[in-house]
Amino acid sequence: MLSEKYKEFTKWVIYQIYPRSFMDSNGDGIGDLQGVISKLDYIKELGANAVWLCPCFKSPNEDNGYDVADYCDIMDEFGTMEDMDQLIEGLHSRGMKLILDLVPNHTSTDHKWFQESRKGKDNPYSDYYYWFDVPPNDWESSFGGSAWQYDEMRGQYYLHTFAVGQADLNWENPAVVKAMQDVVDFWVDKGCDGFRIDVIDCISKDLPNGQDRLGPRIHEYIRALFGREKTAHLFTVGEGSTNDIDDIVLHCASGRDELSTLFIFEHMECGRTDKFTPEEGGMRALRDCLVYWQNETAKRDLLYSLFIENHDQPQMISRIGNDRDLRYESATDIAAMVYLLKGVPFIYQGQEIGMPAAHYDSIDDFDDVESLGAYRKYRETLSEEETLEKINFGSRDNGRHPMAWDGSKNSGFTEGDCEPWLINHSRAKEVNVENDLNSERSVRRFYQELLRLRAGSNAFLEDDFEVLSSQEDDFFIYTRAAGGEKWVVVCNFEKEQVIDLPFGCEKPALSNLGRKTADGRYLPYECAAAKCLC
């Protein structure tokens, strides 16, 4: 059984916002906090009760805010601290929570700590980062090239696991631990209810001798941040890279005083062999992956994070569904597969209108530092056309185009004459909030109904989870139950087929194509959830 605290968190429904691309309030082509404030009712009406904001702190934006230059100040383009206070107030007055994105592994090289540190070995900030006369290993940056960068001023190399402008902090230095605790406390005092923690598994390193990137002191550092009296109530979701259940237990078991949950990314690989290469059979793969993690986390009373997309991933429906003529069906079917399971739902902006992946014919239309690095790498061996195919398939920009609110020139994202900071989504004229709401088949209305159903019955929060389909089936059937009430969820895959059930059911309370019965002939990507008569 989940602990009481974790069970409470399964009632949270978290809407993830990429502020740069969500809503621009002042016509400069860049989304901002006032834009977010103007859409709080839109988010609440969806059925979400929490917002996770991707980093909104001062930053030169080499990696769109994941290169923080001041953790306790707001990015100029996004607004001011007054705007942030107003946002917190706007959320809390609606009974909603705020989750901020903490980036403890690295700072921007513009951060004062780095600017001081590079001045020399006797500077008080000297040991805030990893400095070596000669790179101690051949680690590569996640965005391509060496992870070691020579700094002229200091005359030494520093470590950057990500972009050159993202210098890794040295957590071995107690002053760094203290500084990051102060950042957390600053935001807790402001009313922040939780954190998503960027690459949390990276913060401990085995340098200079170790070859493993994941160092031995990780648990100690996480507790220093979140195992304190002041922080124990927070909801914390770590972004890690582990798929090892024992490792996840050590981070997330209740009583460890570390994290509430970790994102497990295994299902992101469904429908691809690597980030830039597609693979068949994605729906089956997604089902099997979800089943595995439901069972493993339930056995260990871990809180699981239910997510389909985020700002680092192209849209799932384009990878494993049919994002052309069955876009509505696949978007809603995948939502039913995932969000009626046990865990905390996260919904990424645009997912609620079935936004597909975008497509462009020129590399000039891409911005993301990872995509540009991958482009250079693939271009060494592939043609321009083959390379662009890969970049379109895997680019992080897919989820970062301006949110499409309507079909106007700049999709209702900005009213100014400025071009949006990133080119409009290539399908924004067709797929946008206005069109979705005007359609008989609205993905957003389906999400609303789904979240209402989920919030309305304990069956969707408790442990009881049973799978009725087999791995050979091209559909997914599972049940959820609590307190004598049992629900069945049926999600068909690509083929039209008859699906039988071993028990009778009420008329489906949720269905993407208006089904009258839970069993019988299912169209491609048709789904239903119904109360069982057993």
- Find tokens 């400095």 and name the residue: 131
Pull the structure tokens for residue 506: 């009420």
Nearer to Ca ion, 378 or 421 (CB): 421
32 binds, among Ca ion, ligand TEU, none (CB under 5 to 8 A by kind): Ca ion
**Catalytic position from the list 63, 198, 201, 323:** 198
Burial-class residue 512 by CB neighbours within 10 Å (0-12, 13-18, 19+).
buried
Q: From Ca ion, ligand TEU, none, which one binds at residue 201 (CB under 5 to 8 Å depending on kind)?
A: none
Q: Which residues contact 478 (CB under 8 A, 6 or more apart)?
A: 291, 340, 341, 465, 466, 467, 468, 469, 488, 489
> Binding segment for Ca ion among 17-25, 296-304, 354-362, 399-407 (CB under 5 A)?
17-25
Is 239 among the residues known to form the active site?
yes
Shortest distance, CB of residue 463 to ligand TEU, whole angstroms? 30
User: Which is nearer to ligand TEU, 307 or 446 (by Cβ)?
Assistant: 307
Nearer to ligand TEU, 393 or 493 (CB): 393
Q: Cβ of residue 166: shortest distance to ligand TEU, in angstroms? A: 6
Number of residues lying near ligand TEU (CB under 6 A): 13
Place of tokens 């696991």: 161
b/e sequence 241-270, b meaning 16+ C-beta within 10 Å: ebeebeebeebbbeeeebbbbbbbbebbbb
Checking phi first, is residue 251 left (phi over 0); if not, alpha (psi -120 to 50) or beta? Answer: alpha
Interaction between residue 258 and Ca ion (CB under 5 A)? no
Please state the closest distance from residue 268 (CB atom) to ligand TEU, in A.
8
434 is catalytic: no
Chain centroid, CA 241 distance in Å: 13
- The residue from 162, 307, 346, 475 that contacts ligand TEU (CB under 6 A) is 162
**Nearest residue (CB) to Ca ion, 416 versus 514:** 416
Return the residues of window 24-63 that contact Ca ion according to CB under 5 A: 24, 26, 28, 30, 32
Query: What stretch of H or E contains 84?
Result: helix 81-93
Q: Where are the alpha helices (DSSP H) in 155-230?
A: 174-190, 218-226
Interaction of residue 275 with ligand TEU, rule CB under 6 A: yes
Do 83 and 74 touch, CB atoms closer than 8 A?
Answer: yes
Which of ligand TEU, Ca ion, none lies near 28, with the C-beta cut-off 5 to 8 A by kind? Ca ion
**269 touches Ca ion (CB under 5 A):** no
**Cβ proximity to ligand TEU, 239 vs 462, nearer residue:** 239
The entry of Ca ion, ligand TEU, none that residue 436 binds, CB within 5 to 8 Å by partner kind: none
Which does residue 203 bind out of ligand TEU, Ca ion, none, counting CB within 5 to 8 angstroms by kind?
A: none
**Beta strands 344-348; 527-531: pairing state:** unpaired
Which residue's beta carbon is nearest to the bound ligand TEU? 66
Compare residues 6 and 18 and give the one whose CB is closer to ligand TEU: 18
Out of 118, 396, 401, 444, the only residue in the binding site for ligand TEU (CB under 6 A) is 396
Dihedral angle at the C-alpha atoms of 184, 188, 194, 199, nearest 10 degrees? -10
370 binding partner (options ligand TEU, Ca ion, none; Cβ < 5 to 8 Å by kind): ligand TEU
Residue 168 found at the interface with ligand TEU (CB under 6 A): no
Question: Is the Cβ–Cβ distance between 125 and 158 less than 8 Å?
Answer: no
Tell me how far apart the alpha carbons of residues 1 and 298 are, in angstroms, rounded to a whole number.
8
CB of 18 to ligand TEU, least distance (A): 9
Q: How far is CA 138 from CA 146, 148, 211, 213, in A?
A: 7, 8, 9, 11
Q: Is 201 in the site for ligand TEU (CB under 6 A)?
A: no
Biggest CA–CA distance in the chain, Å, is: 75
DSSP string, 310-338: -TTS--HHHHHS-SSTTHHHHHHHHHHHH
Supply the Cα-derived Rg of the chain in whole angstroms: 23
Residue nearest to Ca ion (CB): 32
Query: Residue 80 binds which entry of ligand TEU, Ca ion, none, with Cβ cut-offs from 5 to 8 Å by kind?
Result: none
Q: Which is nearer to Ca ion, 26 or 322 (CB)?
A: 26
Residues belonging to the active site: 198, 239
- Could you list the residues that contact Ca ion (CB under 5 A)? 24, 26, 28, 30, 32
- Could you list the residues that contact ligand TEU (CB under 6 A)? 63, 66, 103, 142, 162, 198-199, 239, 275, 311-312, 370, 396
